[in-house]
Structure 1
Amino acid sequence: MTTAPPPTLEHTCEVALRPNDFDWAGHLNNSVYVQLLESGRWEWGRAWGGDLSESAPVAVVLQLRLDYLEAVGWDPVGRLVVRTSLAERTAYSFTLVQDVERTDGTVVARGRVRLGLVDRDTKRIRRADLDALLDLPRSTP
């Protein structure tokens, strides 16, 4: 019997850039990429039915890897695309892979973020039951 691979749950969103996102040299500031990834994660969660803003579990970043691939030059009214998908699930964490792209599809940064769930009140780690948290498509046997 073969089991279907878990869904990747891909989601894509556009994020607007602001003048203060750029450094003195006219490049997108390195810290803004982390904010772009966070925006992409919020949109990913909402797209799959998991808005954690009012829920008991809170998603916390356990590990973040970010590779800067290409500079983004001054464009204070530009937009970038954040593509997010599920890469891995364990009992107590899940990992998302995220690409930051120009609107033409050029990947300018690539991130990998491992998240855990913490109880909002007790601050204790919780099982990362994505099936209960998100509105995931049911796999057929």
Structure 2
Amino acid sequence: MSARALPDLEHTCEVALRPNDFDWAGHLNNSVYVQLLETGRWEWGIACGGDPREGELVAVVLQLRLDYLTAVDWDPVGRLVVRTALAGRTAYSFSLTQGIERTDGTVVARGRVRLGLLHRDTKRVHRADLHTLLNIPGQTA
């Protein structure tokens, strides 16, 4: 792997739904989709070798695009699958693609998020050094 190359960083997790995740119409509330994506990003970071609760760098959301594809009907004990993958990187940000699916594989939403890195204490912007953030062997970018 070259100094700038990153491995294929993908992760899938299953998230339990709660009764209060649904609105009066019996559909999964639109705000819950954003929470599901965030859970997927946390799990992705840990699965890829970095624990976002530790270290000097923290990822902050710079941009979020979310496409709702189909409703998720009332199921207070249901589960959804969140797929997260590294989609790209610039000097000061990186992007992830994310999908939310029913357990049968039906995609109900797709998202793309662009994240930047800040130093936890100083709040200063940091280069998008995923090798360090995720403890990936190799030189920093």
Question: What TM-score do the two structures reach when normalised by structure 2?
Answer: 0.90
Give the alignment of 1:1-141 within 5 angstroms: 6-136=6-136
For the residues of structure 2 that align with 1:93 and 1:109, how far apart are their CA atoms?
23
Question: What TM-score do the two structures reach when normalised by structure 1?
Answer: 0.90
CA deviation digits over 1:49-89, x for unaligned, max 9? 11121221111000000000000000000000000000001
Gaps of 5+ in 2: none
- CA-based RMSD: 1.4
For the residues of structure 1 that align with 2:132 and 2:108, how far apart are their CA atoms?
34
For the residues of structure 2 that align with 1:68 and 1:132, how far apart are their CA atoms?
33
Q: 3-state SS of the aligned residue for 1:41?
A: helix
Deviation larger for 57-66 or 7-16: 7-16
CA deviation digits over 1:20-56, x for unaligned, max 9? 0000000000000000000000000000111121221
For the residues of structure 2 that align with 1:81 and 1:98, how far apart are their CA atoms?
10
Gaps of 5+ in 1: none
Aligned pair count? 134
Could you list the runs of 4 or more consecutive aligned residues of structure 1 that deviate by over 2 angstroms after TM superposition? 5-8, 135-138
